[in-house]
Amino acid sequence: MAGRVRNLLDGILHRRAMRRWERAGREVRTAALFELRRLRRQAGQLRRRLDRVIHEADGRLALPLIGSDTIEKPLHTDWTWRPQPWRGPLRPPGIAAIRLREGIGDSLRVFHDCPLAELSLRQLRNTRTDDLAPFGLVLDVFGFEGSFLSLVLDLPGQALQGLTRRHLLRMGLVAEMEQPLEIFARLNIRHGPNSEQLVRELQFTYGKSEIDFDLAYTSMNEKRLERAWVDLIFESPRMNRIHLRDITFSRRPRAAF
């Protein structure tokens, strides 16, 4: 109730202020000089406060909204997904000295064999005008002495619903690296006692990469699908900073001939 009363009063005061400055705008050409100086001083004081509000509002409104699922997708796409670490805030927002299989969020885990665990992972708010994901993840790798490092993303159950060998599964990645780095993506699908794997190397153009996994090259049993996940594999990641600004997945049926 108090909030409604306050909003009503704010509205009344705002309309009065608008009428006052509309009147001042009409009278400014004929006002006396002493009155003109007073109006200019008051308008300058008001302008500074308005500029501050507009600047802060534009800054916040320009960011991708938290929870945004805006995804670039091909024609005939029947499923899309952005993992939670790129969609909403994490608690805690990062981990250091990452242990084997330690996770962040509900769907992401880190696999490595570095004996000193000299790496960290943290979430940052995306702020670029072309960012679609509200958040990004930064992976800092220091004196890495291990032989492998990968991020494992578990795909949700919806990804398997209605999935057939006619589907193409697309993964999109927006990333920045301090040093050139080879990155591979491996799709794993478990069906009954068996598993299928498809591996693709990511090639980046202006920080973006898109790869398609063609399920026609698998022997998966469509009636026994149990689980799917993607390994994002980093080759020789030592002394590098990898900023994963966005990761998305989508699927679509292959065109019939």
Among 14, 37, 62, the domain-final residue is 62
pLDDT in tens, 187-213: 999 999 999 999 999 999 889 999 999
Residues 124, 22, single domain; the answer is no
pLDDT at 70: 79
pLDDT at 71: 81
| Number of domains within the chain | 2
Residues 156, 214, single domain; the answer is yes
pLDDT in tens, 35-65: 888 888 888 888 888 877 775 666 566 577 7
Asked if residue 19 belongs to a domain, the reply is yes
Among the listed residues 169, 151, 133, the one whose alpha carbon sits nearest the alpha carbon of residue 246: 133
Provide the domain limits for residue 187: 79-253
Residues 120, 50, single domain; the answer is no
Give the chain's residues under pLDDT 50.
none
| CA–CA gap between residue 167 and residue 250 (Å, rounded) | 10
Asked if residue 74 belongs to a domain, the reply is no
Residues 235, 176, single domain; the answer is yes
Asked if residue 69 belongs to a domain, the reply is no
Residues 48, 145, single domain; the answer is no
Cα atoms found within 13 Å of the Cα of residue 175, Cβ hemisphere only: 26
pLDDT at 148: 86
- 139 and 119 in contact (C-beta within 8 Å)? yes
Asked if residue 68 belongs to a domain, the reply is no
From first CA to last CA, the distance across the chain in angstroms is: 64
**3-state helix/strand/coil string of 112-150:** ECCCCCCEEEEEEECCCCCCCCCEEEEEEECCCCCCCEE
Q: Retrieve residue 137's tokens.
A: 């993840």
Residues 48, 92, single domain; the answer is no
pLDDT at 159: 94
pLDDT at 36: 82
Asked if residue 70 belongs to a domain, the reply is no
